[in-house]
Amino acid sequence: MRALILTLALLPLPALAEFFTLKGHGGPIMGIAAAPDGRIATASFDNSVGLWTGQNPEWLEGHEAAVNSVAFNGTAIYSAGDDFTLRRWPGGQVVGQHKGKIVHIAASKTHVATASWDGTIGLWPVDGSTPTMLGPTGSGVNAVAFTPDGTQLYSAGVDGSLRLWDVASGQEIERLVEHGFGINELILNASDGWIAYGAVDGVTRILDLGTGEERDFTLDRRPILALALSPDRRLLSVGDGEGYIMVIDTTEWRIAQDFRATLRGPVWALAFSPDGQNLHAGGIDQAMYSWPVANLGDGEQLAATQPDFLKNPNDMSNGERQFARKCSICHSLTPDSQRRAGPTLHGVFGRRAGTLPGYFYSDTLQNSDIIWNDETINALFDEGPDHYIPGSKMPMQRITQASDRDDLIAFLRRATADQN
């Protein structure tokens, strides 16, 4: 169906709540879950989950790479991420594992489902019995959603397919949608008989499960990266790669709100509070922001204080620019690691790789005899971490120009030295 660009209008909304932020993570916020008792869980690029009952979180540590998704299920919390594992808290035990990163999880009374880029869906019984793997689907799976009774599961994939599975048999029941745009997110509203899904083309589509008809909403921003449905099912919020949040009125099927939520960067995570009065959001900033639904867009933006990695490149030397682009989202330069995904680089010159106390290194680095100096740092970015230190957790990246590597090394020598 041809996409509809609808006139923005205001809705009668709930009573005013409060704007607030949750700060403490050392990297972008990738996932948010809100529990009925008011607790909030945040999944972050800093390899951790924050469990918030106030402004001071309990840190759930154990993942060895970025955490992409988190979900409450009764008294347990489940999280999953780039280390291919599904973990259960408290305790952080690994209860499931894929052969690729896990990007989304969903929970029913009996199972936790995992969507993985290895092309499969994991069904992990909460009682610890034998799991079932659905697929392979032929491409990465981005999102999953159980039906209310937990007997069926919807999945969305990179191949643009929206599939329905039978949980008991593990068989695909039908393929509801097939098109050329990868589907990143989905929300099932079984009570009203529709499912919403957001794709890389920037369109949010609502499929009527009874008639098969679709409604399309777009404001020409791509890709769609986050969806959340309010508890009363009246509002569907949509986060995109350009940093905007669009809110759709699902009773009149019109765009009710649209505002820029971020200073820069995408909206990766959305969740409504259990009472429906607040909308929580996360992005490239190291904090979760929550707006009263009654006045969305009137408060602060995500990344209201510009992080170092978002500084104007023209205000930095070439060496600092290389650090900002290649290193700063994972590493700090201070004695404190600032909860980043990687260890601090303070005092890195002359340090043996994999030896900084308090950081969980890969086996590759723990057993390495590399000493960080001009030559080894140059080789790291000349060859790329995947070739220079195969098996490490460092992302694949190179600095191809020798002059850029020289400038980065000179900057690091100055910036990581003990000032005393």
Dig out the tokens for 10 from the structure: 């205001």
Read off the pLDDT of each residue in 120-146 and give the average, rounded to a whole number: 97
What was the pLDDT predicted at 337? 73
Domains of the chain by residue range: 20-295, 308-415
DSSP states of 78-100: EEEETTSEEEEETTTEEEEE-SS
Q: Is 148 left (phi over 0), alpha (psi -120 to 50) or beta?
A: alpha
The CATH fold assigned to 20-295 is Methylamine Dehydrogenase; Chain H (2.130.10)
Across the chain, mean pLDDT equals 89
Given this model, what pLDDT does residue 311 score? 59
- Condensed to tens digits (0 to 9), the pLDDT of residues 210-262 reads 999 999 999 999 999 999 999 999 999 999 999 999 999 999 999 999 999 98
Between residues 272 and 14, the one the model is more confident about: 272
Predicted confidence band at 152 (pLDDT cuts at 50, 70, 90)? very high
Condensed to tens digits (0 to 9), the pLDDT of residues 379-392 reads: 999 998 878 888 77
Q: Which residues contact 101 (CB under 8 A, 6 or more apart)?
A: 65, 68, 81, 82, 83, 84, 116, 117
* pLDDT band (50, 70, 90) for residue 309: very low
Could you report the per-residue pLDDT of 155-192, keeping only the tens digit for each?
999 999 999 999 999 999 999 999 889 999 999 999 99
Task: Answer yes or no: is pLDDT of 306 > 60.
Answer: no
Specify the residue for token string 């408060």. Answer: 299
As assigned by CATH, the class of the 308-415 domain is mainly alpha
- pLDDT per position as a tens digit, 93-107: 999 999 999 999 999
